[in-house]
Every structure is written in C-alpha cells, then in structure tokens.
Chain A
C-alpha cells in the first residue's frame, strides 16, 4: 500500500498540489483523474521520487520515501515499475534489451534465465517474436506494451502508469487497460494510473481519486462516479459531446 500524507508542492508562486492525502491500495487499480494541469503528473513524480514535495510525505508500506537519500530509497525503487506517457523505451536498445535492462541491473540471473523472463513478460503483454526489433520499428500500442513488459520484468510491487492511453486509438486503449487490470490482479500489485480517459475510468476504476486545482476533490469508484452530485467532477466527466449526449439520453 502507498500512503500519501499532506503533500503540497509549488513551482514558483503556483501551488500545484495543496495538502493531498490519500491511499493507493494493493491488488487494485488506483486511478488519479483530473483535467490537464490539475497536478496528476506532479503527484506521480512525487510518488516515484522524481520530484520532492515541499511538505508532506509518501510512504510505501509505512516506510517513508520522500526527502530521503537515494541509498535508502533504492530498495523501494527496485520494487517499482513505471510506464511513462511516451513509453520511455531506450532507443539505443532493441525490445529484448529494453525488457532485460532491469534484470541486468538488479539481478544475478544467467542470460538464459533472463531471456526466459523477457519472453515470459513479452508473452504476457501479447507480444511474440519481436525481440530483435528496435523501438522505432514499433507502433504506439506495441511501445506501450513493451514498456509494460519492462515495468513488470523485475516483478514490481508498485506499478505507476502515466496516461497509458495517450495517443492510442480506442481499441488499443482498451487492450492496454485490460492488460494493466489483469496484471494488477494477477500479481497483486499496487497500481497507480494517471488518466483523463473516461473509458479507462469506467473500465478499470476500482478506486478513483479526482484532483481539481491541486486539491483532492472526490474519491470513489467506477460504480458511483456517474451518480455523483459533485459539480466539478460532473463537468469533467461530461465534458465531451459524446458523454453529454449519453447523459441526456439515459
């Protein structure tokens, strides 16, 4: 479980996160939703240690992670997998080398064992026989899946996904969502997903946290999000023409 306690963060005069406290539960997909600029990405960067909070702390299973030296954080980092918005695959490496990278860095497995693990992870994300392809030969959906394979290669306890559906078509988005949900439940991972894709919210929103202007505005799940009377959340959910029409026709 990941606990976020009273996190605040400013950049210059701009307050991006204002006293955020929430928990991300294990074995569940924990969504952080909100408009662009609401502070989702900054919150994820604080959780992954890429940005330090001005106040508050993040705890991984009650172990403090924020504002600590890298020597202490490295053990928690080894249990983290991160899926970045653009995939962040290493473009000087092929698919196999990308997925094998965390195994090379943090394990003493033999090459044969590592290759077996790589093939298992690639198979798990429904990619086969692409080991030797370079990253620039992959489609957007394949890149995301390879990034997921890399993120789970070292059997993480925590998986962070920053807008996993950005730039993908609806069909591929749904495949990625389903895959993240399956992996989360199968390996009992604490998964945190930043998104503003309403389809993802409805499909994998086991726990939903809505951020509005840097504050935690609403918490719930995919079952009760459509019935909320929270005005800002409703404006967010029903902001597109499609969702407005669906709401009016229900």
Chain B
C-alpha cells in the first residue's frame, strides 16, 4: 500500500515536468480536450437535465405543506445541484467514463509495448502520455460542471412546467433567492480536485499494467473504483473544510 502511494507520487513527479516540445504538447492537449472533454457533453447533458428535474420533484414532494413557501423548491434544487449533484455525482459519472478510458488506453499501450517504444526513444513517457490528460481534465471538467449546473436547473424548471408542482415563476424566484456566489466557487474547487484524482489515478493504474488484455480490463475497473472512492472521501473532506 505504502509502496503504491510512493510509486504514485514518483509518477506524478515524472509527469509534471516541462514538455520538451511545446508544439507537440499542445497538439496532444487539443486531442485530449476532444477525447476526454467534448465527447462527455452528451452524457453530462442527459444526466443533468433528468436529475435536476427529479431533484425539483423530490423537494416539492417533501415540502408539500402550506407552511413552506413555494420558492423553497427552486432554492433547494439550486443548492442541491450546485453544491453536490453537479460537482460530485457528475464527477463520479465522469470517473466511470474518463477513468476507464484513460486506464484502458494507457494499459493497452503498455501491453502492446507502445510505451516501451516511446521510452526507448528517450521520451519521458509519463510526461508525454499522462500530463495532457491531467491538464485536459483540469481545464475541461469545470466547463462540464458549469454546463451541468445550468442544465440541472433547467431540468428543474422543466419539471415545474410539465408537472405543475409549482409555477415556473416561483421556481425561478426560488433560484434567485439567498444566492451566495461562494457555492459556485466551492463547486469549482471540488471539481478541480476530482478532475485531478480521476485523471492521475486512472493514469497511474493504466501506466503500470503488467500482463495482457485481462489485466487491461482489470485496470480499467480499478481506475473507476479507486477514483470514485477517493472522490467520495475528498468530497467529505472538502465539504467539512470549506463549508464549516
């Protein structure tokens, strides 16, 4: 366990070095933006709209009392989406998509000796292969999460419109009530931490695959499981330290 943690930090040290050719790094980064970022818009969109709608309906169901103002539904939905649903749940979903993608890509490169081929050429393979993935995740995941927040809130509004639980006007009034911009900063800080965890852990596991296709499959699963568990742990730590 301690050796694995040590190996992880050694790999991170090798990864965060100055790329020898910036033009090649830029090309790799653009490729990863598309590969890891742009291609995730679909799944993020679908999940965000529906979970935003479900959140609004659930809040309405649990506050079905004339004592509660109707705006509370919009307010609660916004807080749920910004503070927890978008940064954490979407990050766990992305850990599944991006984590398995990164681990299996690097694992396959390892078992087919593509990483050896790079290493023999004198290339810092961790820097060349993992750094663009980490940077792409760090830069693009906040974009996905802001997009997810917007769609989640739109999903809640659509639920109000379609089910008449409250009027869309009261929902929007709730969205605009008692807004603290720090909640968005909090969501973005969490996203950055989760982005780093997903890309670096999956990269570490994929990079160190030994064996054949079975091990690549196992690495892919391991990448998802480990990064998801760490996301939950860091969610607790960050919530405790930043919100209390």
Chain A positions within 8 Å of B, measured between CB atoms, are: 48-50, 70, 73-74, 77-78, 80, 82, 84-86, 88-91, 101-102, 104-106, 160
Contacts and interface: CB of A to CB of B under 8 A. Distances in A.
3 closest A-B pairs by CB? A77-B122, A88-B113, A74-B122
Contacts of B109: 90
B113 A86 contact: yes
A77 B24 contact: no
Contacts of A77: 120-122
A86 B112 CA distance: 7
B1 to A, nearest CB: 21
Contacts of A102: 121
A82 B120 contact: yes
Given A84-B113, A91-B114, A105 B123 contact: yes
Contact of A88 (B24, B117, B122): B117
A73 B123 CA distance: 11
Contact of A50 (B20, B24, B119): B119
Interface of B: 20-21, 24, 108-109, 112-114, 116-117, 119-124
B120 A78 contact: no
Contacts of A84: 113, 116-117
A160 to B, nearest CB: 8
Contacts of A50: 116, 119-120
A105 B124 CA distance: 11
B114 A88 contact: yes
Nearest to A102: B121
Given A104-B21, A104-B24, A105-B21, A90 B122 contact: no
A49 B124 CA distance: 13
A235 to B, nearest CB: 30
A160 B120 CA distance: 10
A82 B117 contact: yes
A105 B24 contact: yes
A70 B20 CA distance: 14
Given A74-B122, A77-B120, A105 B20 contact: yes
Contacts of A85: 113
23 contacts: A48-B120, A70-B124, A74-B122, A77-B121, A78-B121, A80-B121, A82-B116, A82-B120, A84-B113, A84-B116, A84-B117, A85-B113, A86-B112, A88-B113, A88-B114, A88-B117, A89-B114, A91-B114, A102-B121, A104-B24, A105-B24, A106-B121, A106-B122
A84 B119 CA distance: 12
A77 B118 CA distance: 10
A225 to B, nearest CB: 29
A77 B114 CA distance: 16
A86 B116 CA distance: 12
Nearest to A154: B121
A224 B109 CA distance: 41
B117 A105 contact: no
A74 B113 CA distance: 19
Given A85-B113, A160-B120, 13 more contacts: A50-B120, A70-B124, A78-B122, A82-B120, A84-B117, A86-B112, A88-B112, A88-B116, A88-B117, A89-B114, A105-B121, A105-B123, A106-B121
Contacts of B21: 104-105
B207 to A, nearest CB: 14
Contacts of B123: 105
A119 to B, nearest CB: 21
Contacts of B120: 48-50, 77, 80, 82, 160
B108 to A, nearest CB: 8
Contacts of B122: 70, 73-74, 77-78, 106
A130 to B, nearest CB: 19
A155 to B, nearest CB: 13
B53 to A, nearest CB: 38
A17 to B, nearest CB: 19
A106 B116 CA distance: 17
Contact of B114 (A73, A74, A90): A90
A86 B109 CA distance: 12
Contacts of A73: 122
B177 to A, nearest CB: 49
B231 to A, nearest CB: 28
Nearest to B111: A86
Contacts of A88: 112-114, 116-117
Contacts of B114: 88-91
A82 B122 CA distance: 12
A88 B124 CA distance: 17
